[in-house]
Structure 1
């Protein structure tokens, strides 16, 4: 289950909060005609229909009316949705930006700062602290960049736009449910242009499924309560099958004879001993671990460049975000945190 709209949406969120927002956040001159002027239904009529549906699903009229007070389609949201760039960055460049020396240093500081609560959360959910911190750091730079859009307005814009209206309409109703349950007010519900919220950047559906009230104050607060943030990240990973007895994978060297096959057969799973027989070695040339785990070969730069043997937890990271670059970055940052631990 993914908590992002699609791969492109999540790429943009990761890029923006991974210190490369300059790739697509540019200043444009808005055209005088409204972006969605071609809509056959007015926004007011659409909102009235949504209100009827929301109330039928248990949302109170006061919650709906307060949440939608003053809400109009946001042209900037449509612009960002439609102007997402083609992703051409190499893994090397991506890692240099997303797993920078500054971020590694800060990740280690955050691990030390929150050592006790991270240990508690790790024990409860079975997720190593370094992976919790790595996801937190890459998603929002440790809670610093969570997005400044009204989630209700952003989701309403995308739901009204029509291109993926069913998906975003569902997420909008989920967001209203979160407000209805009292976890946050509509005014305080801020996030990315695509509706990803809080320090963990959960979409509303993921919030309802995985956000966790660790401090037991009655609110699942992924915006400002660190205990809830860490527990929510760990609960997500635990729920999709995370194993705390293994890591995510490792970088390896691959013989030339295997490169082409790896590219054409990306999902072949073999035991480490079998990869060893095929000539795969650790990145430094050493033999692979003796523990005979299942792994598949990942060569993310279109079958060229750096190669990795990915374990089961790598696929669990992909459930969070379907990007190989993102998953490798999380694993890479976690490894560098682990070296500090």
Structure 2
């Protein structure tokens, strides 16, 4: 059966689930049983799995993610093109009142909320068209990261059980990332917020909820609105690059970095603040590429997505939104 279905679906499958010759339908029955044990209502289970379908393209997408790595000089202009900056400024102005309210409530600068919105889903236009239950069930069944995707499936069912969205409207990426801020279901349960006051947390179609949810995520992850994310810097010749990195022990105060000869990218001295702050030196490509001193807010962005490139794209867009 495993070999036959592999041929039919056009994917190479190697997992403990498939090795046991368990069909997708049988596996879904196991998900249903687990959901019942976790207290999910029978109505929600029946509605969520009514038309569940195995999605081979999700498995293919997971196994064939791009290997070519762009440098930051190549990546940043692609991730933050001028048209996206223009759109970000227009949307910032359009939603300024709501953004400022959310920013004040959660202690997050509104430009970072808009930047996350833009990088994650192009301001809500690219959110994924997979049924989240289909995608998560498929990825759990595939088995490569079964425990993770089973847990996310249970989280998705909890969201449905709480009535935030209907199963047919619960759309997302092939990996199950949902809505305009692309939260995984577990992140939704931890951070999604009701920004509109209607009793639901709708990160798919309600922009007030999207803004509040993004801000709540950052706030609960340690964000501070007293500082920005960091800055691109220039190293002196012969600099000891072994001290770069984001480990706690790698952090130094700005004036310590200044004494080591690091300057702003244009050669001016690093800023002198009334209250000095810790910063970390990072060189995501190498020291011959772009080099940055980043603050704790950048570390918070890395909790959202553990990619230096993602966090830098958000940061650069946020900087260009400033009106």
TM-score by length of 1: 0.87
Answer yes or no: is 1:313 the counterpart of 2:297.
Answer: yes
Q: Report the CA distance shift for 1:105/1:227 in structure 2 as closer, same or farther (over 3 A).
A: same
User: Which region of structure 1 is more displaced relative to structure 2, 250-259 or 269-278?
Assistant: 250-259
Match of 2:8 among 7, 10, 32: 32
Q: 1:286 to 1:80 in 2, by over 3 A?
A: same
Partner of 1:159: 140
**Gaps in structure 2 of 5+ consecutive residues:** 1-5
Q: Offset at 1:128?
A: 0.2
CA distance in 1 between partners of 2:243 and 2:117 (Å)? 31
Give, in angstroms, the shift of residue 34 of structure 1: 5.9
Aligned counterpart, 1:288: 270
Q: CA deviation at 1:87?
A: 4.2
1:269 correspondence with 2:251: yes
Please tell me whether the aligned partners of residues 190 and 197 of structure 1 are also in contact (alpha carbons under 8 angstroms). Answer: yes
- 1:299 is aligned to 283
User: Following TM superposition, by how much is the alpha carbon of 1:262 offset from its aligned partner in structure 2, in angstroms?
Assistant: 4.3
Q: Relative to 1, partners in 2 of residues 1:135 and 1:155: Cα closer, same or farther, differing over 3 Å?
A: same
SS at match of 2:310: helix
- Deviation digits for residues 196-224 of structure 1 (CA, Å, limit 9, x no counterpart): 00000000000001000111211100001
Kindly indicate whether the alpha-carbon contact (under 8 Å) linking 1:262 and 1:298 is maintained by their aligned counterparts in 2.
Answer: no
Unaligned runs of 5+ in 1: 1-29
Contact 2:9-2:56 within 8 A present in 1 as well: no
Residue of structure 1 in register with 2:193 after alignment: 212
Q: Displacement, 1:259?
A: 5.6
Instruction: Give the superposition deviation at 1:256.
Output: 2.7
Tell me which residue corresponds to 1:260.
241
- Residue number in structure 1 paired with 2:94: 113
Equivalent residues in 2 for 1:1-341, closer than 5 Å: 31-32=7-8, 35=11, 36=13, 40-258=21-239, 260-263=241-244, 267=247, 268-291=250-273, 292-338=276-322, 340=323
105-114 or 294-303, larger mean C-alpha shift? 294-303
- Cα distance between partner residues in 2 of 1:166 and 1:105: 42
Aligned 8 A contact 1:262 1:303 in 2? no
Secondary structure of 1:251's partner?
A: strand
Alpha-carbon distance in structure 2 between the residues aligned to 1:221 and 1:329: 25
SS at match of 2:281: strand
Alignment partners' CA distance in 2, 1:75 and 1:69: 19
Query: 2:3 aligns to what?
Result: none
Length, aligned pairs only: 309
**Which SS does the other structure have where 1:297 is aligned?**
strand
Aligned 8 A contact 1:248 1:310 in 2 = yes
In structure 2, relative to structure 1, the CA distance for the partners of 1:274 and 1:227 (3 Å cut) is same
TM-score between both structures, scaled by the size of structure 2? 0.92
Does the CA contact (< 8 Å) of 1:262 and 1:299 recur in 2?
A: no
Equivalent-residue separation in structure 2 for 1:222 and 1:116 (angstroms): 19
Whole-Å separation in 1 of the counterparts to 2:259 and 2:225: 27
Counterpart of 1:3?
none
Q: Secondary structure at the match of 2:36?
A: helix
1:88 Cα offset (Å): 1.3
